Amino acid sequence: MPKHPSSAPVFIKKAALSAMFAISLLTTAAMPAKADIKIGFQVPLTGPAATDGKSAQIAGQMAVDDINAAGGVNGEKIQLVTYDDQAKSDQAIFTANKLIGEDGVKLVVNGSYSASGRAAAPVFQQAGVVMISAYGVHPDITKAGDYNFRLVHLGPPQGAATALYIGKTLGLKKISAITMDNDYGQATMDGFVGAAPKYGVEVLNKYSYSLKDRQFGSIVASVKRDNPDAVYATGYFFTAGPLVAQLRAAGITVPIIGSQAFDSEKFIEIAGPAADGTYIMDSFDRDRKDEKLQKFFSGFKEKAGYSPEGVAAITYSSFMLMADAIKRAGSAEPAKVRDALAATKNFPILEGTLNGFNSLHEIIMPISVNVIKDGKFKSAGMITDLDAFAPPEK
């Protein structure tokens, strides 16, 4: 044995080294699991959708900061992995694959438009990654499979709720209907037209306009001829502002009821005094006496320099819901989080109380209505008859 006096120490050294190596391996492997739950985040930060994207990004970051400040979820912090999807489908698929492959993300909030959510949903479904689409309204998003959820009402239910609100709540019967000619606008309008007879609402005439258009002279002239009790219009703030201004300038004084995407401070800015008396469907109630909402409002305004719009609020809510689902699942494992999300019951979000999801993972939730008074959003009630605007089932 003593023939090789040096062999023992060498062996010990080797053993010690390999032990250290093994330990270091273990610790590095354990580190991310202990430190963070990654949540992927797709937002349009460049391109024409960047306005909404910026708001969503600020709100998403606020949500994650708030969650982490409150101690994280299940003792772990949330780490946000953000990608710009430009609200384009190719970019959405590219960043979805990046989130899955490079970042190893299992949970995603899509804070972008339909084109993005619709393209990304099947990719995430395939990879078994949970996605909440904060405000993407295309039906295909949830149809991609059970890992996909949507936190906003689809167009047709919103349209149906609008018919109820106009016919029953406002008691107005003769309507001129104006829609932007994209999928969402058409689908919402179809929901409205389909439900209208139930509430004695008659659609006098239907007009459509291109999203790029800002001059509505002939529609305005036609509405004047229609002489309706009210005008119902779908659109975004940048079409809605000029539209409402031009309707009012032509002396049309009847109530104007706008779709959800009217909801923006910018709408009031563009339409100016003409904005008054415009109802906005599914618009979040800014006055609700809710501590979280008021805190979000002031916090957002401080960070962004402007008041949050619906897009910001719903993105914040999406993260809060995801965190809550992880908590209820007791794990960040996607299948468990999916089941927890599907089982959501009466969860408070900024918009009110989320009753839950249906079989297709569409939200079940009352719709709140705002009206603009003196240039401010004011609550104009809540549509609670959930059966009247039930989303499609699986």
Partner 1 sequence: MYYVDLAVTGISFGCMYAMMAVGLTLVYGLLRILHVAHAAVFALGAYVVVLVANATGSLILGFLASILITPLFGVAIYRLLYQPLLKYRPDVPMIASVGLLVLMQDAFRIVFGEQGVTFRSNPLAFTTFNLGSVTFNAVQLALVISAVVIFVGLHVFTTRTRMGIGWRATVSRPQIATSFGIDSIKVRYLNFAIGSALAAIAGGLVALLNNLVDPSIGAVVSYKALAIIVLGGLGSVRGTLIASLVLGLVEAYGTVFIGDWLDRDAIAFLALIALLMIRPQGFTGARTA
Determine the straight-line distance between the first and last CA of the chain, rounded to whole angstroms.
76
| Nearest to partner 1 of 123, 223 (CB atom) | 223
Q: What is the nearest approach in angstroms of partner 1 to the Cβ of residue 294?
A: 24
Q: What is the nearest approach in angstroms of partner 1 to the Cβ of residue 218?
A: 4
Q: What is the nearest approach in angstroms of partner 1 to the Cβ of residue 263?
A: 14
Q: What is the nearest approach in angstroms of partner 1 to the Cβ of residue 180?
A: 9
| Nearest to partner 1 of 18, 210 (CB atom) | 210
| Nearest to partner 1 of 54, 88 (CB atom) | 54
In this structure, are residues 330 and 73 in contact, taking their beta carbons and an 8 Å threshold?
no
Q: What is the nearest approach in angstroms of partner 1 to the Cβ of residue 181?
A: 5
Among 101, 114, 115, 87, residue whose Cα is nearest residue 40:
101
CB under 8 Å to 227, separation ≥6 — which residues? Answer: 174
Residues that bind partner 1 (CB under 8 A): 48, 50-51, 54, 181, 205-210, 212-215, 217-222, 224-225, 238, 241-242, 245-246, 248-251, 266, 269-274
Q: Measured between alpha carbons, how far is residue 147 from residues 63, 78, 164 in Å?
A: 22, 20, 32
Angle of the 50-69 helix axis to the 291-304 helix axis, nearest 10:
120
Among 116, 118, 114, 151, residue whose Cα is nearest residue 132:
151
Among 183, 192, 184, 252, residue whose Cα is nearest residue 216:
252
Q: Measured between alpha carbons, how far is residue 182 from residues 114, 153, 156, 306, 362 in Å?
A: 11, 17, 13, 28, 21
Q: What is the nearest approach in angstroms of partner 1 to the Cβ of residue 241?
A: 6
Q: How far apart are CA 229 and CA 224, in angstroms?
A: 11
| Nearest to partner 1 of 170, 313 (CB atom) | 313
**Phi-psi label, residue 235: left if phi above 0, alpha if psi -120 to 50, beta otherwise:** left
| Nearest to partner 1 of 40, 310 (CB atom) | 310
Q: What is the nearest approach in angstroms of partner 1 to the Cβ of residue 242?
A: 4
| Nearest to partner 1 of 48, 145 (CB atom) | 48
Among 64, 68, 63, 102, residue whose Cα is nearest residue 83:
102
Q: What is the nearest approach in angstroms of partner 1 to the Cβ of residue 205?
A: 8
| Nearest to partner 1 of 220, 254 (CB atom) | 220
Alpha carbons within 13 angstroms on the beta-carbon side of residue 181 total: 7
| Nearest to partner 1 of 265, 385 (CB atom) | 265
Give the helix ranges, DSSP H, for 217-283. 217-226, 237-249, 265-271
| Nearest to partner 1 of 47, 71 (CB atom) | 47
Q: Measured between alpha carbons, how far is residue 100 from residues 131, 214, 335 in Å?
A: 12, 40, 15
Give the helix ranges, DSSP H, for 144-216. 155-164, 183-195
Q: Is 319 exposed, middle or buried (0-12, 13-18, 19+ CB in 10 A)?
A: buried
Q: What is the nearest approach in angstroms of partner 1 to the Cβ of residue 185?
A: 11
CB under 8 Å to 105, separation ≥6 — which residues? Answer: 38, 39, 40, 81, 99, 129
Q: What is the nearest approach in angstroms of partner 1 to the Cβ of residue 70?
A: 32
| Nearest to partner 1 of 76, 265 (CB atom) | 265
